[in-house]
Structure 1
Amino acid sequence: MDKLLAAMDANRIEHAMISGIPVAKTWHEDEPKRPRYYAGDDADAYWYSATDTLVAAALKALPPAQRSRFHPFLSGFNPSDKNADALVRQMLELDPGLWQGIGEVFTRHDDLTALIHGDTPRANNEAMKRVYHLAAEYDLPVMLHSNITSKREKNPLYLEEIEEPLRDHPHVRFIWAHAGSSMELHRHQERLDFLYGTLERLLGDYPNLYVDLSWSVLDPYLLDEKGRPDPQWLDLVKRYPERFMLGSDVVGRFDSLGELMHGFDPFLDALPEPLARRVALDNFLDVLPKRVRDTRR
């Protein structure tokens, strides 16, 4: 936490959503080296509920002034298990007032989907529907990692998995991580040509959709090959000024935090200053539970 706070202070980052990784990588008997990343070898991954306990302990160890800069989301549950909502409820009751959202929930997630024990996690399965009802009950936003397509299909193959929850749970605020894109998708398809049009329609149809603009959206969508802001994406943000927010997507190491976040500077500089501030900070804070928003007034 000290390293994270130092990186935030050095780069004028006032607030941050924080969550654990909901899966752990198996160090398989046949593997001679501990894997550092889920794609490091062919061993499976498994759902890791202790991640929330570790995040909670780290936050509780901070002074109140520092703790208030973090907005913790619960993530350590199996999104294919209909027990998930009961576990989430138990965690919420164990630490009343601590948790401010649910996620990043891993559903469709590159090769990780196939490596996880059990059923394929989907954002529109019965288990997650139960979680969404709980989120509405507690006024919690839900952040979903739900890839819009596979590595080879040049169409929104998995769109229904994110659109069905948006349609069926209008009282839940959904944050779509990376707008359904990922760096792994871009390694196989340099640019998802259907992403802009799909996102434009979804934003118009579903006022409960919010979009996390992480580094996998910055390039190749927000900025062109010369680092100039894309006029289409600038226009989209201007038309939906309350629906976009920045994310770093850093995991466990924070040396690159400043470089990643300052990568958005050309795009933010091309927006009117009040709108740039909304995208950089206020939109995220405004999507949090009402009890959290009220403390800022």
Structure 2
Amino acid sequence: MTAALAVYLSACSTMPDDEEAEPMVSVSNDSRPLSSFALPPDQQDCYDRTSEPYTAVVDSHFHPRPFGGSAIPAPELFNFFDNTTVRFVNYFGIGQVLDLQSGCTYYLDCPGVPASPSIKNDFVNGMEVMAYPHENLHITLSMTFMDLAHPENITSLIELYDKEYPGMFSWSGELNVMKQALLGNLHEPATKESIDGWAPFMAVLQERGIPVTLHSDLGNDANPTEFLPLMEYVLASYPDNKIVWAHMGLSKELANMNPYEHVTIMQRLLGDYPNLMLDISWDVLFNAYHEWGPVFINFFNSHPTRILPGTDFVAAGTKSFDQYAKELDVTSRALKAMDDNAFRHIALGENYFRLMGLDYYAPDICPTTAAVSAGQ
């Protein structure tokens, strides 16, 4: 066991149960502004893992608006990022917006209230990004309106986005293929027939090099791989698209899957589909890391170029900076235990930059860090 992994497991074992607990470490990183990542690695200061934060510089899975109700104002939200390590963020709308007349903020608190695909979140996100430019933050806007069960009008709506926000939306998702938690809000999962109907809009995404983040539950405790064939059908149907599988397929409904089985499935799919990447956002994954750290850390180290970090934070107006800081900390604890190569690619953004074709670069890891992470 490496020294980094031992520290990680120790941190996991002492994690407080209190949801409002403060982050265990400071997540600020004032010495790494956005502009520093525009320099080639040999022109940047190397990253000293013994003294600099382990939290990610990329939040590739972030929701600036809730399912319903008020959101954290954009200027306040940007301060959140300024006071953490995050310099790059994906703005995911909420693809299934709750009925505006319901007064609901969170879908699980409102069973029976419809959550329907909508362009509302995306358009508000686009307007706010234009209204509040920020020199220390790179925001990637994402199209999240797509109804994967009824894809007939998706391409025409993409044309609407092109007209209203030309060139601004360069990601797609989070889109729900199968999300068990939303079934109580009339979510309609995709079927193999509807997946066949994705072909026109997936062709647009492929042509433009736009990644798509898909939420597709792997299964549940009764049947851990119940919905795996659905995701495999997507991958087999669209192997040339850049597909990011959110949360590695895990969910609250799947809390007890054998970690070796999970990792074996992920390894097979990464081998079969070179354009597939895995999103390790959401603190649900921490439940798996907490008990089975070595299994997952070894998997991440073995596939350093195929993983993206994220929080899955939903910026409801009732939430505070401390809550975001805690979620960033918890979802970054696996990063702390990764080897230097994986840490640079995942935590420091190299995977994100290359996937997006951005002119940014992750810094090299300081040589002194390598000895520490190797347990020397």
2:294 is the counterpart of 1:231: yes
2:244 is the counterpart of 1:175: yes
SS, match of residue 210 in structure 1: strand
Instruction: Report the alpha carbon displacement of residue 22 of structure 1 after superposing the two structures with TM.
Output: 1.2
Looking at structure 1, the residues matched to 130 and 197 of structure 2 have their Cα atoms a distance apart, in angstroms, of 30
Partner of 2:353: 285
Looking at structure 2, the residues matched to 192 and 127 of structure 1 have their Cα atoms a distance apart, in angstroms, of 34
SS, match of residue 65 in structure 1: coil
Aligned-residue sequence identity (percent) comes to: 21
Unaligned runs of 5+ in 1: none
C-alpha distance 284-192 of structure 1, shift in aligned 2 (>3 A): farther
Looking at structure 1, the residues matched to 103 and 165 of structure 2 have their Cα atoms a distance apart, in angstroms, of 33
C-alpha distance 91-279 of structure 1, shift in aligned 2 (>3 A): same
What is the root-mean-square deviation in Å for CA atoms of aligned residues? 2.3
Looking at structure 2, the residues matched to 192 and 51 of structure 1 have their Cα atoms a distance apart, in angstroms, of 37
Partner of 1:296: 360
Looking at structure 2, the residues matched to 104 and 272 of structure 1 have their Cα atoms a distance apart, in angstroms, of 29
2:365 is the counterpart of 1:276: no
2:69 is the counterpart of 1:6: no
Whether contact under 8 Å (2:217, 2:250) holds in the other structure is yes
Looking at structure 1, the residues matched to 262 and 130 of structure 2 have their Cα atoms a distance apart, in angstroms, of 40
Looking at structure 1, the residues matched to 307 and 226 of structure 2 have their Cα atoms a distance apart, in angstroms, of 23
Partner of 1:219: 286
1:126-141 superposed matches below 5 A:
126-141=196-211
Looking at structure 2, the residues matched to 116 and 89 of structure 1 have their Cα atoms a distance apart, in angstroms, of 27
C-alpha distance 240-55 of structure 1, shift in aligned 2 (>3 A): same
What letter is aligned with 2:350? Answer: D
Whether contact under 8 Å (1:85, 1:127) holds in the other structure is no
Looking at structure 2, the residues matched to 203 and 252 of structure 1 have their Cα atoms a distance apart, in angstroms, of 31
Output one character per residue of 1:224-257: Cα deviation in whole Å (capped at 9) or x when no partner: 2xxxx72221221122111111111011245322
Whether contact under 8 Å (2:310, 2:331) holds in the other structure is no
C-alpha distance 34-72 of structure 1, shift in aligned 2 (>3 A): same
Tell me the TM-score normalized by structure 2: 0.68
Which structure has the larger Rg over C-alpha atoms?
A: 2
Looking at structure 2, the residues matched to 96 and 192 of structure 1 have their Cα atoms a distance apart, in angstroms, of 45
More deviation in 52-61 or 120-129? 120-129
Which residue, 76, 80, 84 being the options, matches 2:145? Answer: 76
Aligned residues: 279
Whether contact under 8 Å (2:179, 2:189) holds in the other structure is no
Whether contact under 8 Å (1:72, 1:98) holds in the other structure is yes
Looking at structure 1, the residues matched to 205 and 216 of structure 2 have their Cα atoms a distance apart, in angstroms, of 18
Tell me the TM-score normalized by structure 1: 0.85
2:159 is the counterpart of 1:159: no
The structure, 1 or 2, with the larger RCO (C-alpha pairs under 8 Å, 6+ apart) is 2
Which residue, 81, 86, 91 being the options, matches 1:18? Answer: 91
Whether contact under 8 Å (1:79, 1:107) holds in the other structure is yes
Partner of 1:257: 324
Output one character per residue of 1:82-133: Cα deviation in whole Å (capped at 9) or x when no partner: 111221233134322211111111221123135236x433586233333211
2:334 is the counterpart of 1:267: yes
Instruction: Report the alpha carbon displacement of residue 223 of structure 1 after superposing the two structures with TM.
Output: 3.0
Output one character per residue of 1:182-232: Cα deviation in whole Å (capped at 9) or x when no partner: 2x214xx444553222112111211111111013453222332xxxx7222
